[in-house]
Structure 1
Amino acid sequence: MATDQRVCIVTGANSGTGYVTALELARSGATVVMLCRNEYKGTAAREKIVAETGNQQVELIVADLAEMAEVRRAAREFAERHAKLDVLVNNAGGVTQTRRESSEGLEAMFAGNYLGHFLLTDLLLEQLKNAGHARVVNVSSMAHKGAKLDFDDLQGRSSWNAMRGYAQSKLAQILFTYELAERLRGTGITVNAMHPGAVASGFKNGTSGLVKALVGGFYAVFGISPEKGADTILHLANAPEVAEVTGRYFIKRRPVATSKASYDTEARERLWAVSEELVASVDEPRR
């Protein structure tokens, strides 16, 4: 096994592109921290990765990214174990057919796809800076191209549509990517987003009935393997040629343009401020 001194976090690492990303980073010899919502699935995935790679430095932190208290706990748990973080892959996400709120009153899909990653990244900035040259990879989607942020109803309380909500969360990820990249210029941390493709994984798990059948049928016909979906993630995490590239969006290892809405600097700054307000509005866990 190759020697890799990096410390990496992969969210949503128990299946799909997240699992393949964690597996390949572990295969290189890196210390890999799998951040997963389900302890049973996360433990099983960790055991498989250790068995296949022989790398014992694979860890599991259980946290639901839709719950900000759990994100804070996960960040503290990581910081207690590790002084640095070389690679942060914000991969976890999905679509839910019906509107659901977290225990903290946040719309769960927006929180899990975007807001939890916003908070996690912010809480780990010290460890990222300690790495000297760190990389943040945000797994977004081409679905962002049909979205525009509705700042009057980010939580979908007035009007709910699952795919519109999903697209909005993915646009938020890209706006976050561009804003964070600007804020971190000169720190040695790069921040990029990517689209993995139509990965045939557990994307439809949050749906039911006809919607689940239609989504499942689409991925059965057009879906690509998690290995292909993870290729650009691993490229951004590993490749020397993108070591200094920041604030870009990639498809099939190539930087491409995003939607017109994603380049709105005023919206970018407003989203950052709103995101800070939302995570600050949720109390720290009581002990």
Structure 2
Amino acid sequence: MHGKTVLITGANAGMGLASTIKLAAEGAKVIMLCRNLERGNEARKEAQQQSGSTAIELMQCDLGDIASIKNFAQEFLKKYDTLDILLNNAGVVTIRRQETKDGFERVLGVNHLGHFLLTNLLLPSLQAAEQGRIVTVASGAYKAGRIHFDDLFLKQSFNPAKAYAQSKLANILFTKELARQLSNTKVTANCVHPGAVATQIGVNRDTGFGKRIVALLKPFFLTPEKGAETALYVATEPSLHNVSGQYFYKKQQQLLPAKATNDYDALRLWGWSSELTGLET
């Protein structure tokens, strides 16, 4: 990984932090993209200590804010000519319906739309790399989801599972269409299911209820290090240099049902996402 530049979203905790430590220890230059600079600085210190690397940089971006994403991308492209690996790891779950600064339902806004815009804006640096790779953390939760084109922001009917499942299906359809558009380039785009990871439990850990739920379920969940393994494999495995548009679980390509491979839905979602985020087409 020496000489490689890696950008990881949601890098201050969980799989993002575990991935930062692993890649930095292997010699990569890692940029930790975090919304909260205070938490990000604490995580950066931990990553430096555990990896033994000083080649770890912290940059700020709120994936729930289009202006923040555009400002970050502009700053990044001025500073870095190439990006070898983009790991779209950040994700949110909300118990109640919330909106981003731009009025998007927060789960879809961050998990899909934020990464959609970020990825597209960073494509010049990925295409300038010897072999750019985009890895998006999806989830097996997609199986319970569908894209609610008639109510994408779930204004009519919201529940956390429905919102999260839709966002993870959107991650997969986005990856599929992105891979198609990049098929004549050196850049690949894949997504992964990390398994059930303890840090991904969508409850407030500061409440008594949240603490009890985490304590009860934690023994059945993977550690962040184990959860990050498949994403890191897809990001770095040499034999996958020509593999694109695929979904991986436990380091293996998985067959997907029709709803996750539908070309029309993928293109429709892309067009809607482009319009909402103001992406120039």
Scaled to the shorter chain, the TM-score interval is over 0.9
CA drift of 1:81 comes to 1.3
Measured in 1, the distance between the counterparts of 2:204 and 2:278 equals 27
Report SS of the residue matched to 2:3: coil
Shift in alpha-carbon separation, 1:218–1:256, aligned structure 2, 3 A: farther
Are the structure 2 counterparts of residues 63 and 205 from structure 1 closer, same or farther at C-alpha, using a change threshold of 3 Å?
farther
Whether the 8 Å CA contact 1:96–1:207 is kept in 2: the answer is: no
Shift of 1:216: 2.8
> Which of 89, 92, 95 is residue 94 of structure 1 equivalent to?
92
Report the TM-score, using the length of structure 1 for normalisation. Answer: 0.92
Runs (5+) with no aligned partner, structure 2: none
* C-alpha displacement of 1:53: 2.5
Q: What CA deviation, in whole Å up to 9, does each residue of 1:124-170 have, x standing for no partner?
A: 01000000311000000000011111111111111111110000000
Q: Aligned AA for 2:259? A: A
Equivalent in 55, 58, 65 of residue 63 of structure 2 = 65
Contact 1:93 1:112 in 2 (8 A): yes
Q: Give the percent of matched residue pairs that are identical in Structure 1 and Structure 2.
A: 40
1:284 match: none
- Contact 1:96 1:206 (C-alpha < 8 Å) held by counterparts: no
CA contact (8 A) 1:97 1:208 kept: no
> After the TM superposition, which of the residue ranges 100-109 and 112-121 deviates more from structure 2?
100-109
Alignment size in residue pairs: 279
Amino acid at match of 1:107: E
Cα distance in 1, alignment partners of residues 206 and 51 from structure 2: 36
Q: Contact 1:97–1:207 (CA<8 Å) still a contact in 2?
A: no
* Correspondence for 2:29: 31
Q: Which residue of 2 aligns with 1:56?
A: 54
Equivalent residues of 1:95, 1:207 under 8 A apart: no
User: Residue 188 of structure 2 aligns to a residue in which SS?
Assistant: strand
Secondary structure of the structure 2 residue equivalent to 1:201: helix
Distance (Å, rounded) in 2 between the aligned partners of 1:243 and 1:80: 27
Q: 1:140 to 1:218 in 2, by over 3 A?
A: farther
Per the alignment, residue 156 of structure 1 pairs with 154
- Corresponding residue for residue 143 of structure 1: 141
Change (3 A) 1:219 1:190: farther
Instruction: List aligned pairs for 1:216-227, cutoff 5 A.
Output: 216=214, 219-227=217-225
1:50 and 1:208 map into 2 onto residues whose CA distance is 27
| Partner-residue secondary structure (3-state), 1:204 | coil
**Corresponding position of 1:4:** 2
Gaps of 5+ in 1: 282-287
| Residue 238 (structure 1) aligns with | 236
Q: CA deviation at 1:58?
A: 0.8
Look up the match of 1:200: 198
CA distance 1:188–1:34, shift in 2 (3 Å): same
- Kindly state the Cα deviation for residue 231 of structure 1 after the two structures are TM-superposed: 0.6
1:103 paired residue among 98, 101, 104: 101
Q: Which stretch shifts more, 71-80 or 130-139?
A: 71-80
Larger displacement relative to structure 2 (44-53 or 22-31): 44-53
- Render the CA deviation track for 1:170-228: whole Å, top value 9, x for unaligned: 00000000100011012101111000011011532458979847853663242111111
Residues 43 and 60 in structure 1, CA contact (< 8 A), matched pair in contact too? yes
Q: TM-score, normalised by structure 2?
A: 0.94
Distance 1:210 1:270, change over 3 A: farther
1:122 maps to amino acid: N
- Residue of structure 2 in register with 1:280 after alignment: 278
Aligned to 1:119: 117
Q: 1:214 and 1:147, CA in 2 relative to 1: closer, same or farther beyond 3 A?
A: farther
State the partner residue of 2:266.
Answer: 268
